[in-house]
Amino acid sequence: MKLIQNYLRLLFVLMCLSMVHAQDTQIQFLSGTGYQDTKDWEFKISKGRNSDKWSTIGVPSVWEQEGFGKYQYGIKFYGKPFPDGIADEVGMYKYAFEVPKNWENKRVNIVFDGVMTDAEVQINGRSAGAVHQGGFYRFKYDITDLLEFGKSNLLEVTVSKESKNASVNLAERRADYWNFGGIFRPVFLEALPATHIARSALRAEADGTFEAAVFLGNGTQGLAARVSIYEKSGKKIGKTLSGQLADGSDKILLSGSFENIKTWTSETPNLYEVRIELLKNEKVIHKIDETIGFRTIEIKKGDGIYVNGTRVLMKGINRHSFWPESGRTLNKQLNYDDARLIKEMNMNAVRLSHYPPDPEFLAACDELGLYVMDELGGWHGHYDDAVGKKLVRETVIRDLNHPSIIFWSNGNEGGWNTNLDNQFAIWDIQNRPVLHPQQELNGVETMHYRSYGETLEYLRGDHIFMPTEYLHGLYDGGHGAGFDDYWEVLRNHPRSGGGYLWVFADEGVVRTDQDGRIDNQGNFGADGIVGPHHEKEGSFFTVKEVWSPVMITTPHKLTQDFNGEFDIENRYFFTDLSECRVEWELANFAKPDDAQIGHISIQKNTVENFQLAPQTTGKLKINLPKDWKKADVLYLKVIDSQGKELWTWSYTWDKESQLPTSTLSRTPTLVETEALYQVTASQTVLKFTKNDGKLASVTQAGKTIGFKNGPQIIMARRGDRTLDGTINPDFEKGEDRIYKEFACIDEEVNCSESLINLTAKKVENLIKIEASYHGILQKVLWTIHPDGLLQMDYEYEYNGVTELAGIYFDYPESMMRSKKWLGAGPYRVWQNRLKGTTLDVWENEYNDPIPGESFNYPEFKGYFRDWQWAQFKTTEGTIELFNKSSDTYLGVYSPRDGRDALLYTLPQTGIAVFDVIPAVRNKVNATDLVGPSSQPRWLHGTQRHTLYLKFKN
pLDDT value of position 903 = 87
29 DSSP β-pair partners: 188
What pLDDT sits at residue 870?
97
Q: Residue 631: is its pLDDT beyond 60?
A: yes
Environment class of residue 680 by beta-carbon count within 10 Å: exposed (0-12), middle (13-18) or buried (19+)? middle
pLDDT per residue as tens digits for the range 213-222 = 999 987 678 8
Q: Residue 116's pLDDT is what?
A: 97
Separation of alpha carbons 508 and 517, rounded Å: 9
Banded model confidence at residue 705, pLDDT cuts 50, 70, 90: very high
pLDDT digits (tens, 9 = 90+) for 640-699: 999 999 999 999 999 876 778 777 778 899 999 999 999 999 999 999 999 999 999 999
- Cα–Cα distance, 936 to 685 (Å, whole number): 40
Quickly list DSSP for 797-821: E--EEESEEEEEEE--GGGEEEEEE
What local confidence, expressed as pLDDT, does residue 750 receive?
A: 67
Give helix 538-546 / helix 483-492 axis angle, nearest 10°: 20
Flag the least confident range among 1-5, 602-606, 836-840. 1-5
Query: Is 55 strand, coil or helix?
Result: strand
Q: Give the burial class of 581: count Cβ atoms within 10 A of its Cβ; 0-12 exposed, 13-18 middle, 19 or more buried.
A: middle
Q: What is the pLDDT of residues 794-841, one digit of tens each?
A: 999 999 999 999 999 999 999 999 999 999 999 999 999 999 999 999
Residue 339: strand, helix, or coil: helix
For residue 484, which of 547, 570, 551, 555 has the smallest C-alpha distance? 547
Residue 266, pLDDT score: 98
Residue 638 has pLDDT above 90, yes or no: yes
Q: What is the pLDDT of residue 862?
A: 97
Please give the pLDDT value at position 737.
Answer: 34
> In terms of Cα–Cα distance, which of 373, 365, 251, 385 is closest to 305?
373
> How would you class 92 by CB atoms within 10 Å of its CB: exposed for 0-12, middle for 13-18, buried for 19 or more?
middle
pLDDT for 761 equals 95
Contact (CB, 8 A) for 378 and 341: no
Residue 673 β-bridge partners: none
Give the whole-angstrom CA distance, residue 629 versus residue 619.
Answer: 21
pLDDT band of 744, cuts 50, 70, 90: low
Whether the per-residue pLDDT at 16 is higher than 60: the answer is no
CA 709 to chain centre: 41
Question: What's 449-471 look like in SS3?
Answer: CCCHHHHHHHHCCCCEECCCCEC
At 529, the pLDDT band (50, 70, 90 cuts) reads very high
Letter for the amino acid at 832?
A: N
The answer to whether 305 and 378 have CB atoms below 8 angstroms apart is: no
Min mean pLDDT across 10-14, 555-559, 814-818 is at 10-14
- Note whether 863 and 917 are within 8 A (CB): yes
Q: Mark residue 862 as left, alpha or beta (left: phi above 0; alpha: psi -120 to 50; beta: remaining).
A: left
- Whether the model clears a pTM of 0.75, i.e. scores above it, the answer is yes
Is the pLDDT assigned to residue 591 strictly greater than 80?
yes
Average pLDDT over residues 867-877: 97
**CA dihedral in degrees (557, 559, 563, 569; nearest 10)?**
-30
Identify the H or E element spanning 247. none
Task: List the one residue out of 707, 705, 706, 674 whose CA is nearest residue 689.
Answer: 674
Residue 518 vs residues 327, 473, 528, 857: alpha-carbon distances, Å? 12, 18, 14, 16
Confidence (pLDDT) at 435:
98
- In contact, 739 and 901? CB cutoff 8 Å: yes
Helix H, strand E, coil C: the string for 633-680 is EEEEEEECCCCCEEEEEEEEECCCCCCCCCCCCCCCEEEECCCEEEEE
> pLDDT at position 665, please?
73
Inter-helix orientation angle 385-399/359-368, to 10°: 40
Helix ranges (H only) for 526-627 are 538-546
Percent of the chain with pLDDT over 70: 93
- CA dihedral of residues 419, 420, 426, 430 (deg, nearest 10): -120
pLDDT band at 77 (very low <50, low <70, confident <90, very high): low
Q: Which of 931, 930, 898, 937 is nearest to 914 (CA)?
A: 937
pLDDT in tens, 895-927: 999 988 888 878 889 999 999 999 999 999 999
Dist CA 873 CA 866 (whole Å): 21
Contact at 8 Å (CB) between 855 and 533? yes
Which DSSP category does 261 fall into? Answer: P
- Lowest mean pLDDT of 71-80, 236-245, 698-707, 828-837, name the range: 71-80
C-alpha to C-alpha distance for 393 and 635, rounded to whole angstroms: 52
Alpha-carbon distance of 157 to 149, in angstroms, equals 20
**DSSP string of 130-144?**
SPEE-TT--EEEE-G
Cα dihedral 719, 722, 724, 728, rounded to 10, equals -60
Burial of 436 by CB count in 10 Å (0-12 exposed, 13-18 middle, 19+ buried)?
Answer: buried
Model confidence over 849-860: pLDDT tens digits? 999 999 999 999
Tell me phi and psi for residue 352, to 5 degrees: -90, 85
Are the C-beta atoms of residues 587 and 600 closer than 8 Å to each other? yes
Residues 754-768, mean pLDDT to the nearest whole number: 94
The whole-number pLDDT of residue 11 equals 41
Are 278 and 194 contacting, i.e. CB atoms less than 8 angstroms apart?
no
Identify which of 883, 953, 871, 876 has the alpha carbon closest to the alpha carbon of residue 684: 953
pLDDT digits (tens, 9 = 90+) for 287-297: 999 999 999 99
